[in-house]
Amino acid sequence: MVQLSRRHLLFAAGAAAVVSMAGCGDDDADNKDLADNRVGAMDKYGVGDQFKATSAVSFSMLYNNHPNYPFKDDWLFWSELLKRTGVKIEPVAVPLSDYEQKRSVLIGAGDAPFIIPKTYHPQEDAYVSSGAILPVSDYLDLMPHFKDRIEKWNLQPEIDSLRQEDGKFYLLPGLHEKPWQDYTLAVRMDILEELKIAVPTTWDEVYDMLKAMKAAYPNVYPLSDRFGKPNPAGNLLNMLAVSHGLAGAGWAYQHTSWDANAKKFVYTGASDKYKAMLEFLHKLVDEKLLDPETFTQTDDQARQKLASGKSFVISANAQSIVNDYRPDMAKSLPNARMAKIPFPIGPVGPINPASRLENGVMISKKARDSKNFVAMMQFIDWLWYSDAGQEFARWGVEGTTYTKDSSGKRTLTPDVDVLGLNPKGTKHLQKDFGFYNGIFAYGGHLELVQSFFSAEEMEFQKVLNERPNVTVAPPHPLSDTEREQVTLWETPLKDYVYQNTLKFILGQRPLGEWDAYVTELNGKNMGSYVDVVNKAYDRYQQKHG
């Protein structure tokens, strides 16, 4: 008995020691003290400076492998990066198809590389409470280019929308000077000419155009859409939602939308604006202007209908026009011409609905203890947020992959092709050199972002750039318990909204039953959800003004 109790005592003492050690990780103190982490960092590093590590450094990075330009370690990108910055990247390759899952496993197992790019907000929310990623907002002093851009381009409201409950944000987003709206509707321009209709600018004009098309071609559904998997009519619903002043629907469904007049959040799927959207779509289906199969067909089926002349209007972005529709129709409809129409204007008036934030970079908490931490932050700042870094990531090396004339206009060297801009080129900017890689090159100055755009895309963007930006919702970060609670409600709510969206549009459920539908949503905790969000908004306002 004596032995047992002594062993018990020893065990208890050991446990107490471990517990007190665990409590000993005081984060706030070592926030400020970076003296041990400056190996390789530049002493003076400011806006306009080229980052060059003062000693050889290497950083591990999660590499999202895109099947169109698979990773090659002999890319000019890597060697030139080493030359300019002294940094060697050690990539952990992950196929694009399952990037999010591998990222979750690595972070959960504590094995994540230091730099974790291609993170779309709000994906970083899940990792905040585990403490596995760094609150980057504490280290902005190490990133002069990032701070400069936020100031110059007035991105403070957008950055605030990334803040968590503790007032810090955990993601370094891609920053755009001007929002880049890519998706819209594309229309058979030759049919418009034939029927002598002007290019529509508002949703009402779109309706008129579809009616005129139907009158001339009664056996055709003029609009048969794609992007329906896994969210039916993903793009079409989203376009209508933002035109009506909602945060997003379809493939970008946001449960709550900010009502600037009432100064609170409302539930998107139950709002009057959503009802107006559904009424519009129901009208289209009723008058046989919108193909009901839009909501269930695959992209390939929609493309086939367009290519065989069984539809005239479809959702598009710049790439799909060049890579999908024009080649699809080259043989079957040689006289057809597809082009994007300006983003249709809805009840809120002309807006550019895109966000100015992009996918971004998370930093693993373990990087904070590395002796090269400061050098790493400066490196990230240079590559992703400086003019020189972004130009390098997108265009490559002057003289080898591009040339610059006296006015600063860049052109690809004749042998280099990207996005079909130089079809006779034998080398590909992405595949052979590793530039314009989706991990490194996005965001930035308007002229840089648009530097690969075709002439017609520039026309489209010119119209959109003249429109005001969409208002950003104020921050409303949830606590961990709230987030867990809300996650339990989200899926049934979203499923129910989607099911009924389809039923209302297709006429399977009369729109007169709207109030009954709202009551049913309330029964699924919609009211509680909105309350939680509004409380979070009030709480944040009180704490951080």
Partner 1 sequence: MVTLDTSTPAPATNRRHGPHTSRGYRIFRVVNAVVLTGVVLVTLYPFVNIVARSLSDNASIVSGEVNLIPRGFNVAAYKAVMADPMFWTNYRNTLVYTAVATAVSLVLTTCYAYVLSKKHLKGRTALVGIAVFTMFFSGGLIPNYILVTSLGLKNTVWAIALPNAISVFNLLVMKAFFESLPVELEEAAAVDGLNTYGILLRIVLPLSKAVVATMFLFYAVSFWNSWFAAFLYMDRMDLFPVTVYLRNLIAGATDATSTGGGLGSASDVVQSAATIQSVTIVLTVLPILAVYPFIQRYFVSGVMLGAVKG
* Contact set with partner 1 (CB under 8 A): 65-68, 70-71, 92-98, 100, 102, 105, 108-111, 120, 176, 179-183, 227, 229-231, 234-235, 238, 248, 250-252, 299-301, 303-304, 307-308, 317-320, 323-324, 327-328, 330-332, 353-355, 358-359, 436, 438, 441-442
Q: How far apart are CA 33 and CA 28, in angstroms?
A: 10
Nearest distance, CB of residue 490 and partner 1, angstroms: 16
Residue 298 C-beta: closest distance to partner 1, Å: 9
Between CA 256 and CA 258 the distance in angstroms is 7
- Residue 306 · residue 224 · CB < 8 Å: yes
Q: How far apart are CA 212 and CA 192, in angstroms?
A: 9
Look-up of token digits 């946001």: 254
CA distance 519 to 508: 18
Burial class, 217, CB count within 10 angstroms (exposed 0-12 / middle 13-18 / buried 19+): middle
- The residue to which tokens 């998107």 are assigned: 268
The pair of three-digit structure tokens given for residue 151, joined into one six-digit string: 């100031």
Residue keyed to tokens 């003296």: 35
Closest approach of Cβ 527 to partner 1, in Å?
26
Q: In 10 A of CB 3, how many CB atoms?
A: 7
Q: How far is the CB of 322 from partner 1 (least distance, A)?
A: 10
**Minimum Å distance from CB 354 to partner 1?**
5
**What is the nearest approach in angstroms of partner 1 to the Cβ of residue 43?**
34
Tokens (6 digits) for 281: 């779509």
Task: Return d(Cα 443, Cα 174) in angstroms, integer.
Answer: 6
**Least CB distance from residue 40 to partner 1, whole Å?**
24
Smallest Cα–Cα separation from 536: which of 492, 483, 484, 494? 483
For partner 1, the closer CB: 124 or 324: 324
Q: Distance from first CA to last CA of the chain, Å, rounded?
A: 62
Task: Give the span between the Cα atoms of 59 and 376, in whole angstroms.
Answer: 7
Q: Which residue's structure tokens are 């779309």?
A: 120
Helix, strand, coil fractions of the chain, as percent rounded to 5: 50, 15, 35
- Which two structure tokens, joined as six digits, stand for 541? 């306002």
Dihedral sign computed on CA atoms, order 496, 498, 501, 503: negative
What's the min distance (Å) between Cβ of 224 and partner 1?
13
Rounded distance between C-alpha atoms, residue 278 and residue 254, angstroms: 16
CB closer to partner 1, 139 vs 442? 442
Please identify, using beta-carbon distances, which residue of 183 and 537 lies nearer to partner 1: 183
- 171, amino acid identity: L
Report strand pairing: 184-188 vs 313-316: antiparallel
Strands 115-119 and 313-316: unpaired
- Cβ 539 to partner 1, closest distance in Å? 26
**Closer CB to partner 1, 97 or 542, in the complex:** 97
CB of 367 to partner 1, least distance (A): 18
Give the burial string for 226-251 (b: 16+ CB within 10 Å, else e): bbbeebbbbbbbbbbbbbbbbbbbbb
**Minimum CB separation from partner 1 for residue 66, in Å?**
7
CA distance 280 to 277: 5
Instruction: Report in angstroms how near the CB of residue 419 gets to partner 1 at its nearest.
Output: 9
